[in-house]
């Protein structure tokens, strides 16, 4: 099958390209100027330089393709970027690519969304595909807008459109989570906000890729499916398993939620003045400790239910937390990150 992957140089995109290419598919990768394509080149993929704002490069990318995996986006929330940039890239460009895909005869369009499009659980229950959109920021809002656009195109029956909803995903070649969680744990010390019993998603990349392909092959057009590990994890459970896989004794400093909240307010204020770590993280445009961080790490507010993918598509994650951790940590160590 001839497949286009947008955002192929990214973490999830590179793993998808690796999997599809190794299984005999003809893979075309759309990447931006400045992206690191060193991992893609040995895979035998066709590389096309382009941009979501450049219609000519998008047309060239989709020409002759049978399936499109649309991963390219402004991923994560960067407070330094204006909202209109998110709308232009995460929503409008998705519509433009859908139009070009229809005109080029693409059979199936797979849109990779984010659990941030659903945002926070308002009732303490796991988020599902039917949960109302309650995004925390413009990133989540525009990723959900991309879903709305995709469902509208699915109704037109001119192209099959499948939607994948991803949570926090980790694995080899992921660098932000590595810096925020893996590296501190490797030092034997980690700060927990609250008791550490908040439920979170921590999906291993190979489980995620398996789910994406299953949705592309068997998902119903216009439907969305959440893909994650077999179950949600307590935050402290993830940290302890990580330390175990590293053969490290871990000291967990537990900061009461009220104190953590005051710290978050302080760091948010300080980040407006001091544009350097530990007050400001340039990759995200916000401080390392913030109230949105507490919503994820200290409250069971962003965790989900994979029942739909399991019951309708037969999705069964094959990698456990321990197995995913081991492969990830081994790769970080082999490549000098830990």
The enclosing domain of 315 has a CATH number of: 3.40.50.720
pLDDT at position 32 is 93
**263 and 309 both lie in a single domain:** no
Distance CA 209, CA 200 (A): 19
Distance CA 197, CA 204 (A): 20
**115 and 187 both lie in a single domain:** no
**206 and 278 both lie in a single domain:** no
The reply to whether 95 falls in a domain is yes
| Close Cβ partners of 134 (under 8 Å, ≥ 6 residues apart) | 118, 119, 120, 122
Q: Is 10 or 298 the better-scoring residue by pLDDT?
A: 10
CA count, 13 A, side-chain hemisphere, 47: 17
**35 and 137 both lie in a single domain:** yes
| Close Cβ partners of 44 (under 8 Å, ≥ 6 residues apart) | 21, 27
Domain residues for the domain of 112 are 2-171+201-231+303-320
**212 and 267 both lie in a single domain:** no
The reply to whether 6 falls in a domain is yes
Distance CA 255, CA 259 (A): 7
SS3 label, residue 132: coil
Q: Are 245 and 325 in contact (CB under 8 A)?
A: yes
pLDDT at position 290 is 86
Taking residues 4-9, report their average pLDDT. Answer: 97
Q: Is 209 or 269 the better-scoring residue by pLDDT?
A: 209
**151 and 39 both lie in a single domain:** yes
pLDDT at position 288 is 80
**247 and 112 both lie in a single domain:** no
**253 and 287 both lie in a single domain:** yes
- What's the structural domain count of the chain? 2
Q: What is the pLDDT of residues 262-308, one digit of tens each?
A: 998 998 898 888 887 877 777 667 788 888 888 888 889 999 999 99
The reply to whether 326 falls in a domain is no
The reply to whether 330 falls in a domain is no
pLDDT at position 144 is 97
The reply to whether 152 falls in a domain is yes
For the chain, percent of residues with pLDDT exceeding 90: 83
**225 and 252 both lie in a single domain:** no
The reply to whether 8 falls in a domain is yes
**41 and 125 both lie in a single domain:** yes
CA count, 13 A, side-chain hemisphere, 315: 31
The reply to whether 9 falls in a domain is yes
Q: What is the pLDDT of residues 13-59, one digit of tens each?
A: 999 999 999 999 999 999 999 999 999 989 999 999 999 999 999 99
Distance CA 338, CA 336 (A): 6
**221 and 190 both lie in a single domain:** no
**267 and 218 both lie in a single domain:** no
pLDDT at position 281 is 76
Q: What is the pLDDT of residues 123-180, one digit of tens each?
A: 889 999 999 999 989 999 999 999 999 999 999 989 999 999 999 999 999 998 999 8
The reply to whether 54 falls in a domain is yes
């Amino acid at each position: 099958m001839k497949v286009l992957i947008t955002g192929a140089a990214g973490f999830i995109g590179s793993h998808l390209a690796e999997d599809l290419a190794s299984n005999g598919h003809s893979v075309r990768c759309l990447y931006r100027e400045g992206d690191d394509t060193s991992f893609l080149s040995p895979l035998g993929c066709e590389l096309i330089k382009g941009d979501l704002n450049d219609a000519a490069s998008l047309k060239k990318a989709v020409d002759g393709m049978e399936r499109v995996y649309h991963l390219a986006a402004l991923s994560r929330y960067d407070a330094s970027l204006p909202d209109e940039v998110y709308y232009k890239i995460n929503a409008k460009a998705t519509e433009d690519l859908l139009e070009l895909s229809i005109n080029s005869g693409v059979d199936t369009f797979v849109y990779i969304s984010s659990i941030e499009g659903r945002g926070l659980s308002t009732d303490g229950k796991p988020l599902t595909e039917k949960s109302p959109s309650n995004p925390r920021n413009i990133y989540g809002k525009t990723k959900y807008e991309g879903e709305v656009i995709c469902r509208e195109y699915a109704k037109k029956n001119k192209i099959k459109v499948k939607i994948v909803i991803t949570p926090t995903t980790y694995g080899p070649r992921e660098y932000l989570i590595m810096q925020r969680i893996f590296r501190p744990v490797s030092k034997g010390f980690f700060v927990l906000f609250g008791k550490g019993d908040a439920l979170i998603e921590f999906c291993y990349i190979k489980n995620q890729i398996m789910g994406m392909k299953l949705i592309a092959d068997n998902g119903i057009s216009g439907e969305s499916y959440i893909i994650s590990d077999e179950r949600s994890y307590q935050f402290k459970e993830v940290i302890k398993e990580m330390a175990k896989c590293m053969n490290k004794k871990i000291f967990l400093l537990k900061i009461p939620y009220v104190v953590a909240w005051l710290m978050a307010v302080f760091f948010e204020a300080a980040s407006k003045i001091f544009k350097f770590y530990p007050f400001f993280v340039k990759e995200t445009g916000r401080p390392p400790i913030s109230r949105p961080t507490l919503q994820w790490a200290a409250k069971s507010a962003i965790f989900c239910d994979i029942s739909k993918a399991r019951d309708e598509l037969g999705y069964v994650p094959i990698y456990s937390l321990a197995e995913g951790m081991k492969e990830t940590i081994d790769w970080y160590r082999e490549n000098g990150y830990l």
